Amino acid sequence: LVPLNTHVLISQFKVAYRMLRRSDGTFNRHLAEFLDRKVPANATPINNVLSFDLLLDRSTNLLVRIYRHAPHPVSYQSLFLPPSPSPFPLIIFFHGGSFAHSSSNSAIYDSLCRRLVSLVGPSIVISVNYRRTPEYRYPSAYDDGWAVLNWASNESWLSNGSIFLCGDSSGGNIAHNVALRAVDSKLVIHGNILLNPMFGGNRRTEIGKEVRWKILCNYPRQGLVLEGLFARWSR
């Protein structure tokens, strides 16, 4: 079964989601933003990792937060140099949040991206601040992910990077979709890192009926919730 500490953490998240979800299935964005702790980018390295925000498309407000290994402070020009003369991992990360909340500057995802750089070593992590529902409809989030992949693939300072797409929950869904788009292009993806990705249907599968999954995803009206989510997202 699920370890006790994980069960406690999941229970805390469930309480938060019940507070944020209205009776009609819609999401209280204002309360979610109030509860979501944000952190700024840091040009001065913290634990050998620095970050900076970069606006890629003013028309869609597509923003990314870029993380890189940096034992010492660097100049602005040095931010756009390869982290290593040899091939290096280039991870494009998509945050979770049910397509509706959280962002690239959420503290929980900022910590995760820093951790990725610390574990991997000389590398680049690009965290995508994609457009969220309901303000932006399907397929806006997928389009933003595709735009970032194309941008990264055409940047000379990133040309030696081995691209990996990474995401958790709805972010894992976006990473999967972007990878599928890349299949029909000349862009090369070296791998997907999907962290409990969100893939849903309108009814529970057999594995979804197991006790351990009921602890994680115990939503009696799961089918209706998912149908409502995608219907609202695509309108």
pLDDT at 202: 67
Confidence label for 176 from pLDDT (cuts 50, 70 and 90):
very high
Q: Does pLDDT of 226 surpass 80?
A: no
C-alpha separations of 217 from 68, 78, 139, 166 in Å: 35, 45, 25, 22
**DSSP per residue, 83-118:** S-SS-EEEEEEE--STTTS--TTBHHHHHHHHHHHH
CA distance 61 to 100: 16
Q: Per CATH, which fold does 37-199 belong to?
A: Rossmann fold (3.40.50)
Strands 124-129 and 191-197, bridge-based pairing: unpaired
Cis? peptide before 139, omega within 30° of 0:
yes
CA distance 64 to 4: 36
Low-confidence winner among 17-31, 32-46, 160-174 (lowest mean pLDDT): 17-31
Query: Which string of b and e fits 95-114 if b means at least 16 CB within 10 Å?
Result: bbbbbbbbbbbbeebbebbb
Q: Strand locations in 88-201, DSSP E?
A: 88-94, 124-129, 161-169, 191-197
Contacts of 218 (CB under 8 A, 6+ apart): 14
pLDDT at 218: 53
CA distance 192 to 86: 21
Confidence label for 224 from pLDDT (cuts 50, 70 and 90):
very low
- At 146 the three-state DSSP class reads helix
How do the residues of the chain divide into helix, strand and coil, expressed in percent and rounded to 5?
Answer: 40, 20, 40
Average of pLDDT values for 21-37? 82
pLDDT tens for each residue of 110-145: 999 999 999 998 999 999 999 998 889 999 999 999
Q: Which amino acid, one-letter code, is at 62?
A: L
- Is residue 113 within 8 A of residue 125, CB to CB? The reply is yes
Residue 45: phi and psi, rounded to 5, are -60, 140
Higher-scoring residue by pLDDT: 29, 85: 85
Q: What is the mean pLDDT of the chain?
A: 85
Confidence label for 165 from pLDDT (cuts 50, 70 and 90):
very high
